[in-house]
Amino acid sequence: MKQDVILVLDCGATNVRAMAVDRQGNIIARAATANASDIAAENSDWHQWSLEAIMQRFADCCRQIHDQLASCTVRGITVTTFGVDGALVDEQGALLYPIISWKCPRTAAVMENISQYMPAHQLQQIAGVGAFAFNTLYKLVWLKENHPQLLAQAHAWLFISSLINHRLTGEFTT
């Protein structure tokens, strides 16, 4: 009888991993490869993620553990990622703009000037968004200020985990 496993695809800021875990939580197989953001074409000080590169890294990791899973049945797949990065997508799930990295400095000025929209203390009180330039809200405001047409074209904002899920299934998830 084949052993049941869940395939865990984990996208971190420094590594991408694929792991197979059994019902007791034991790791049956694992592979990892380095992950890094890219320099943005618009500005060499900016950082962004390539969804295609992340998906390729997952594919490479899955190929590495494939033979170790010959006696296993994959019963499900789960995706985990870091939380604040994502992108606007159209109705087919295509990116409208590259994924702005949490370490990209372009949102620092937005954070510093957020009071033009709302006092920072009120934003913290209402939404829990603190003074950290990597917060998703500051990316959305940056897009509003610099590429407003994209917000009008957008079907949704998807975090990296949902972007990966969409690539794997064709479905929009949260």
The CATH number of residue 81's host domain is 3.30.420.40
* 115 contacts: CB under 8 Å, gap ≥ 6: none
Task: Establish if 24 belongs to a structural domain.
Answer: yes
Q: Tell me how far apart the alpha carbons of residues 171 and 40 are, in angstroms, rounded to a whole number.
A: 28
Query: Does residue 74 sit within a domain?
Result: yes
14: in domain: yes
The model's pLDDT over 71-106, given as tens digits with 9 standing for 90+, comes to: 999 999 999 998 899 999 999 999 999 999 999 999
The domain containing residue 46 runs over which residues?
Answer: 3-169
Confirm whether 123 is domain-assigned: yes
Angle value at C-alpha 129, between 53 and 146, nearest 5 degrees: 55
Domain total in the chain: 1
Within-domain flag for 174: no
Tens digit of pLDDT for each residue in 120-159? 999 899 988 888 899 999 999 999 999 999 999 999 999 9
Q: What is the pLDDT of residues 31-70, one digit of tens each?
A: 999 999 999 999 999 999 999 999 999 999 999 999 999 9
Looking at every residue in the chain, the average pLDDT score rounds to: 96
User: Is 81 inside a domain boundary?
Assistant: yes
Instruction: Please give the structure tokens belonging to residue 168.
Output: 């794997």
Q: Is residue 162 part of a domain?
A: yes
CA distances from 59 to 18, 31, 51, 127, 166 (A): 9, 11, 12, 37, 15
Residues 91 and 88: their CA atoms lie apart, in Å, by 10
Residue 55 domain flag: yes
